[in-house]
Amino acid sequence: NAGVMQNPRHLVRRRGQEARLRCSPMKGHSHVYWYRQLPEEGLKFMVYLQKENIIDESGMPKERFSAEFPKEGPSILRIQQVVRGDSAAYFCASSRGTSGLQETQYFGPGTRLLVL
C-alpha cells in the first residue's frame, strides 16, 4: 500500500509564474490536508478537503492560492503569480475519513517550492 505521494518533490518558479502541487492520498483515504512550512518556521494548516468539497480553508491566503480535490485524480494546490515569500515546503496529509476526529493523518514527503 503506497503512502501519500506528492509531486513534484522540488519545484523552481520565477516570480509571477504559477505553481501546481499535486497530492495523491493513500489508497482508501478520502480526506486531504495541506500544510505549509516556511523556512525556519513550524508547520501551518492551510486547507482541508474531502472529495469534491473544501471543508475548511481558514489557513489559506485570501489571494492567489486555491485547492481542489476532484472526484478522480490527485488533490491540487495551485499558487498563482508566485512571490518569493511563497518559497516553502508544502506537505499534504491524508486520512481515511471514517473515524471522525480520532484519525491519524499520514504525511507525504512534501514539495519544496523555490521562487526566484
Partner 1 sequence: KNEVEQSPQNLTAQEGEFITINCSYSVGISALHWLQQHPGGGIVSLFMLSSGKKKHGRLIATINIQEKHSSLHITASHPRDSAVYICAVRWKNTDKLIFGTGTRLQVFP
Rounded least distance, CB 72 to partner 1, Å: 23
Rounded least distance, CB 96 to partner 1, Å: 12
Contacts by residues 5-9 (CB-CB < 8 Å, ≥ 24 positions apart): 5/74, 5/108, 6/90, 6/91, 6/92, 6/108, 6/109, 6/110, 6/111, 7/111, 8/111, 9/109, 9/110, 9/111, 9/112
Minimum CB distance to partner 1 smaller for 50 or for 81: 50
1 near partner 1, judged by CB under 8 A: no
55 near partner 1, judged by CB under 8 A: yes
The residues binding partner 1 (CB under 8 A) are 31, 33, 35, 41-45, 48, 55-56, 58-59, 89, 91, 101-107, 109-110, 112
